[in-house]
Amino acid sequence: MTLDELSIGQSAVVTAVGGEGALRRRLLDMGITPKTSVLMRKKAPMGDPVEICLRGYELTLRLEDARKIEIRRAKA
């Protein structure tokens, strides 16, 4: 499953960060690394972009970028 599929209010753990080159480096630099917990905070009215909470801060991502982040849902 990828980050763009997560519903508002759900938590997940990053399992892999895809993409290539500068995009992948940018995602990693923003703190999106494997084993990081994320929470889906908001989605724009048309669904793009999305806002996630990780490592104590909010981050807004385009859906295209969110599709490159593999996750697994956090166990309740």
Reply yes or no: is the peptide bond before residue 34 cis, omega within 30 of 0. no
In terms of average pLDDT, the best of 21-25, 44-48, 49-53 is 49-53
pTM here?
A: 0.85
Supply angle C-alpha 31, 35, 39, rounded to 5: 70
* Segments forming the whole domain that contains residue 46: 3-73
Residue 53 clears pLDDT 90, i.e. is over it? yes
- Reduce the DSSP state of residue 22 to 3 states and report it: helix
How many independent structural domains does the chain possess?
Answer: 1
pLDDT at 15: 95
User: Exposed, middle or buried by CB within 10 Å (0-12, 13-18, 19+), for 53?
Assistant: middle
pLDDT at 76: 60
CATH code at 53? 2.30.30.90
Q: Between 38 and 19, whose confidence is greater?
A: 38
pLDDT at 47: 79
Contact (Cβ atoms closer than 8 angstroms) between residue 40 and residue 70: no
